[in-house]
Structure 1
Amino acid sequence: MRKTLTALMLAATLPTLAMAATPAATDTPPPPHMMGDHMKDGHGPRGGWHGPFKALNLSPEQRQQVGKLMGDSMKNRHDITEKYLSKLPAADRKAMQDELKASHDKTQQDIRALLTPEQQKKFDELKKEREQRKAEWTEFQQWKAQKDGKTN
């Protein structure tokens, strides 16, 4: 249940994060909150390889290479999306972002409705932590932009 919930939350969050902001080309993306040291090589939090590659019995080197390829693929998809989004009129971009947010919010509500009261409490805490990290990242980016603007 916990793995499914985490996967659903991540799947619901990724499109919103990818579309929500258009960082400058020199910006580096925030560190993914779900990717601690235990997940850098493609392993899940309990040490096992998850997903469609589990049945392939990949070596550690292969797992690392597959993880890198998947990460590169995500970055490429994000870059392609940004390239075409930048060509949209501002009104269309705003409408798309609003629709994505509404879809994300509905998914979050639907997931929460499936949970027990105890799980809902934890879900709400995790959501609050994510929002706090997002606010801290935004504040850092603003500080960085100010600092870069003063030194250039």
Structure 2
Amino acid sequence: MRKTLTAALLALTLPTLAMAMPDGGTRHGGGHHGEHGARMFKELDLSKEQHREIRKLMGEQMNGRHEITQRYLSKLPAAEQKAMQDELKAAKDKQHAAIRALLKPEQQKAFDEHQQKMNERRAEMAEFKAWKAEKDKQAN
């Protein structure tokens, strides 16, 4: 069950990674994730407005999938949830280490700075969500 959920979560994050990448998901270095989508956008010769709307729809779909995943994950026992979070973190750390190993020293520095900024943003968002939940709780 844990492997299935992990695979499902990783599959759900791929569209996010593709959307976050420059040029609509095109990657360098032989990767294939997002290349199909970027090729499709080029073949359709979309206007900027169409591209923007499609990205918006894809983002909404991604958020919907995330909500569904969270709803089912919340039904797992706490030990299973923690084990899954630990496994996902280990996979993420391994991927970051592999990426960093491919980079030149100046690129590693920029990569590390980017990771630090992302961690700060995540912490700020978690703090905001906790604050908002507390405020909503007080309002009720």
Residues 11-65 of structure 1 show CA distances to partners (whole Å, capped at 9, x for unaligned) of: xxx85xx7xxxxxxxxxxxxx9x9xxxxxxx8x76xx655231232112332133
Distance 1:54 1:89, change over 3 A: same
- C-alpha separation between the residues in 2 aligned to 1:126 and 1:148? 32
Alignment of 1:2-17 (within 5 A): 15=10
Higher relative contact order, structure no. (Cα contacts within 8 Å, ≥ 6 residues apart): 1
Name the counterpart of 1:72.
60
Tell me how many residue pairs correspond in the alignment: 114
Alignment of 1:29-108 (within 5 A): 51-52=38-39, 53-108=41-96
- C-alpha separation between the residues in 2 aligned to 1:151 and 1:80? 27
Distance 1:79 1:150, change over 3 A: closer
Residue ranges of structure 1 left out of the alignment (5+ in a row):
1-13, 19-31, 35-41
Q: TM-score, length-normalised on structure 1? A: 0.63
User: Which letter maps to 2:130?
Assistant: Q
Residues 82-118 of structure 1 show CA distances to partners (whole Å, capped at 9, x for unaligned) of: 2221222221111111101100000001000000000
Q: Aligned Cα RMSD in Å?
A: 2.8
Q: TM-score, length-normalised on structure 2? A: 0.67
1:76: how far off? 2.2
Residue ranges of structure 2 left out of the alignment (5+ in a row):
1-8, 26-37
Distance 1:72 1:150, change over 3 A: closer
User: Which letter maps to 1:62?
Assistant: Q
User: Quick check: which one's helix share is greater?
Assistant: 2
Identity of counterpart residues, as a percentage? 54
